Amino acid sequence: MGQRIGKEQIKREKGYLYFLGKDGYMWKTPTKLNKKGKKAKVGTEKITREDGFMYYLDKNGYVARAKMKNA
Protein backbone atom coordinates (compact mmCIF):
# COMPACT_ATOMS: atom_id res chain seq x y z
CA MET A 1 0.00 0.00 0.00
CA GLY A 2 1.03 3.60 -0.49
CA GLN A 3 1.53 6.39 1.96
CA ARG A 4 -0.18 9.77 1.79
CA ILE A 5 2.29 12.61 1.30
CA GLY A 6 0.06 15.48 0.14
CA LYS A 7 -1.94 17.81 2.36
CA GLU A 8 -4.17 19.24 -0.38
CA GLN A 9 -7.33 17.36 -1.39
CA ILE A 10 -8.06 17.33 -5.14
CA LYS A 11 -11.54 16.64 -6.49
CA ARG A 12 -11.53 14.00 -9.24
CA GLU A 13 -13.43 14.51 -12.49
CA LYS A 14 -14.65 11.71 -14.72
CA GLY A 15 -12.74 11.21 -17.97
CA TYR A 16 -9.35 12.39 -16.70
CA LEU A 17 -6.09 10.69 -15.75
CA TYR A 18 -4.16 12.28 -12.85
CA PHE A 19 -0.36 12.27 -12.52
CA LEU A 20 2.51 14.09 -10.84
CA GLY A 21 4.36 16.15 -13.43
CA LYS A 22 8.09 16.81 -13.68
CA ASP A 23 7.50 20.25 -12.14
CA GLY A 24 6.17 18.66 -8.92
CA TYR A 25 2.49 19.60 -9.33
CA MET A 26 -0.53 17.35 -9.98
CA TRP A 27 -1.88 17.46 -13.52
CA LYS A 28 -4.94 16.04 -15.23
CA THR A 29 -5.06 14.90 -18.83
CA PRO A 30 -8.13 13.71 -20.76
CA THR A 31 -8.59 10.03 -21.57
CA LYS A 32 -9.46 8.84 -25.08
CA LEU A 33 -13.16 8.89 -24.20
CA ASN A 34 -13.02 12.54 -23.16
CA LYS A 35 -12.80 14.40 -26.51
CA LYS A 36 -13.42 17.95 -25.18
CA GLY A 37 -11.06 17.91 -22.19
CA LYS A 38 -7.72 19.72 -21.99
CA LYS A 39 -4.56 19.10 -19.97
CA ALA A 40 -4.44 21.31 -16.87
CA LYS A 41 -2.63 21.75 -13.56
CA VAL A 42 -5.00 20.88 -10.69
CA GLY A 43 -2.93 21.22 -7.53
CA THR A 44 -1.13 24.12 -5.86
CA GLU A 45 1.03 21.97 -3.58
CA LYS A 46 4.54 21.19 -4.87
CA ILE A 47 5.72 17.61 -4.21
CA THR A 48 9.41 16.67 -4.24
CA ARG A 49 9.97 13.45 -6.16
CA GLU A 50 12.23 10.66 -4.94
CA ASP A 51 13.64 7.84 -7.06
CA GLY A 52 12.03 4.42 -6.70
CA PHE A 53 8.49 5.66 -5.97
CA MET A 54 5.31 5.89 -8.05
CA TYR A 55 3.15 8.95 -7.34
CA TYR A 56 -0.63 8.95 -7.79
CA LEU A 57 -3.92 10.45 -6.58
CA ASP A 58 -5.52 8.13 -4.01
CA LYS A 59 -9.25 7.42 -3.68
CA ASN A 60 -9.68 10.25 -1.15
CA GLY A 61 -8.07 12.81 -3.47
CA TYR A 62 -4.67 13.17 -1.80
CA VAL A 63 -1.25 12.69 -3.43
CA ALA A 64 0.24 9.35 -2.37
CA ARG A 65 3.28 7.31 -3.25
CA ALA A 66 4.11 3.62 -3.38
CA LYS A 67 7.50 1.90 -3.56
CA MET A 68 8.16 0.32 -6.96
CA LYS A 69 9.45 -3.25 -6.94
CA ASN A 70 12.02 -3.03 -9.74
CA ALA A 71 13.37 0.47 -9.20
pTM: 0.85
Identify the pLDDT of residue 1.
Answer: 73
Give the pLDDT means over successive 10-residue stretches in the chain (71 positions): 91 94 95 93 94 93 92 70
Identify the pLDDT of residue 5.
Answer: 93
Identify the pLDDT of residue 2.
Answer: 87
Closest by CA position to 44, among listed 59, 29, 61, 24 = 24
Identify the pLDDT of residue 70.
Answer: 84
* DSSP notation for 8-65: S-----TTEEEEE-TTSSEEEEE-TT-SS---EE---------TTEEEEE-TTS-EEE
Sheet-wide strand order for 40-41: 16-20, 26-30, 40-41
